[in-house]
Amino acid sequence: MIHHVSYSVSNYARSLEFYDRTLIKLGVERVMTFDNAVAGYGQNGQPFFWISRQGNPEEEIGNARGMHVAFSAPSRRCVQAWYEECLALGGTDNGAPGPRPEYDLRYYGAFITDPDGWRIEAVTFNDE
């Protein structure tokens, strides 16, 4: 089981706003912040997704071929709201909300590229 995922961002303030406002649509909120440089998002006080202004300065940000992070959503309506908020905050469409029966007959997801180029997804198996 994966405990958490983290990655660096180029504009920490912009990324805080982006993830604060989009992840809340999925029931995920910022639960920890350290030294105005690292933020952890999760549920019930337990972070599982981190962003940071730190990291190896020689590595490119948002350039990990094939890597993406998928967040569970409680409903299709939440997937849609997340997708729309991501677009409004500078995210780029990477797959509009809709069923993905090739993954699972109940799979409903949307794909976004965040302002740094990281690929993120919201997915639900709820038919609502």
Domain boundary assignment for the chain: 5-54+68-124
Task: For Cα atoms 14, 58, 18, give the angle at the middle one, nearest 5 degrees.
Answer: 15
pTM (2 decimals)?
Answer: 0.91
- Which CATH superfamily groups domain 5-54+68-124? 2,3-Dihydroxybiphenyl 1,2-Dioxygenase, domain 1 (3.10.180.10)
pLDDT of residue 36: 87
Environment class of residue 110 by beta-carbon count within 10 Å: exposed (0-12), middle (13-18) or buried (19+)? buried
- Using CA atoms, how far apart are residues 96 and 89, in angstroms rounded to an integer? 16
Give the SS3 label for residue 111: strand
Q: Which residues on adjacent β-strands are paired with residue 43?
A: 46
The share of the chain scoring above pLDDT 90, in percent, equals 81
- Model confidence over 85-104: pLDDT tens digits? 999 999 999 999 999 999 99
Reply yes or no on whether the pLDDT at 118 is more than 80: yes
Q: Yes or no: say if 49 and 3 are a contact pair by the CB < 8 Å rule.
A: no
> Which of residues 99 and 2 earns the better pLDDT score?
99
Average pLDDT, the chain: 93
Q: Looking at residue 127, what is its pLDDT?
A: 86
Q: With 80 as the cut, is the pLDDT of residue 24 above it?
A: yes
Grouping H, G, I as helix, E, B as strand and the rest as coil, residue 4 is coil
